[in-house]
Amino acid sequence: MAVQILIPTPLRVYTKGEKVITVEAGTVGEALRALTERFPELRRHLFNEEGRLRSFVNLYLGDEDVRYLQGEETRIADGQTLSIVPSIAGGGRWASGRSITQR
Amino acid sequence: MILRLRQAHQAQIQAHVETGYPAEACGIFLGREAEGIKIVEQLRLVDNRWADPAEQTHRFLIPPEEVLAAEREAAAAGLEILGFFHSHPDHPARPSNFDREHAWPWYAYLIVSVENGQATDWRVWELTEDRSAFVERRLEIVP
């Protein structure tokens, strides 16, 4: 399946300025792997040291947050669009170690 | 990188962070970037959506659906998300480790220190490419 991945502005420097990258993939996870194989510098901004998606990095298939679908196992239909969207978190005191994947 | 902000936007941010005190307040910058200058054209003031209200004095969250909506609004207007602001109530306008773990390079992160309900210090930060540190950048206020 061909999926279009929308690249947010800060990460376009790692995709040679491209806003949209089209990859062949059957699932969201496969799409991410195809993207980061093509543009390895994206990895550290999407994944943490353990290779897991950073907690503030969110993926939307169309208008749906894939966390509420089947996560990286979510199947992609031909022509769908995958958006990489940050949630913005932070705060004044030094780290409490709490994750932001709360809602 | 320079973040260029209009006085009117600065006044809106000041009102937002002072009204929000002692909780952290936050928002999104939309605008254009040229030759390292980020020019803010529109401001989105956002509610702090950190789940536990008791922790909102030192934590904030702008959820992804809010960022996605801002992305779409920006694209429709020919603009981009340039960065974000948040307040540090009774705490210096310096990024924490927690801020660093939840940031990307390129974006401008404005932090406003609010002491006893008054906005006192405004500083702009940018994450380095290797994610190791924030570097302070210039804030330019224009009429």
Whether the pLDDT of residue A5 is over 50: the answer is: yes
* Digit-coded pLDDT (tens) for A82-97: 999 999 988 776 433 3
Give per-10-residue mean pLDDT for chain B (143 aa): 98 97 96 96 94 88 95 95 95 88 92 96 95 94 97
Name every chain B residue with its beta carbon within 8 A of the beta carbon of A94: 96-98
- Please return the burial class of A8, using the count of CB atoms within 10 Å of its CB with bins 0-12, 13-18 and 19+: buried
A window 7-66, beta carbon within 8 A of B: 8-11, 13, 44-45, 54-56, 58, 60, 65
For position B94, what pLDDT does the model report?
92
d(CA B42, CA A27): 36
For position A93, what pLDDT does the model report?
61
Whether the pLDDT of residue A102 is over 70: the answer is: no
The domains located in chain A, with CATH, are 2-86 (3.10.20.30)
For position A100, what pLDDT does the model report?
35
ipTM, two decimals, is 0.87
| First vs last C-alpha separation in chain B | 20
For position B99, what pLDDT does the model report?
83
Topology of the domain covering B2-142: Cytidine Deaminase; domain 2 (3.40.140)
Retrieve residue B124's tokens. 């702009």
For position A61, what pLDDT does the model report?
96
For position A94, what pLDDT does the model report?
44
Mutation site, A6, A45, A88, A100, interface B, largest B CB count within 10 A = A88
Name every chain A residue with its beta carbon within 8 A of the beta carbon of B96: 90-95
* Digit-coded pLDDT (tens) for A33-47: 999 999 999 999 999
**Domain range annotation of chain B:** 2-142
Using CA coordinates, name the residue in chain B closest to A59: B64
d(CA B40, CA B84): 11
Whether the pLDDT of residue A27 is over 90: the answer is: yes
B window 78-107, beta carbon within 8 A of A: 80-81, 84, 86, 88-91, 95-99, 101-107
Instruction: Compute the mean pLDDT over every residue in chain A, rounded to the nearest whole number.
Output: 88
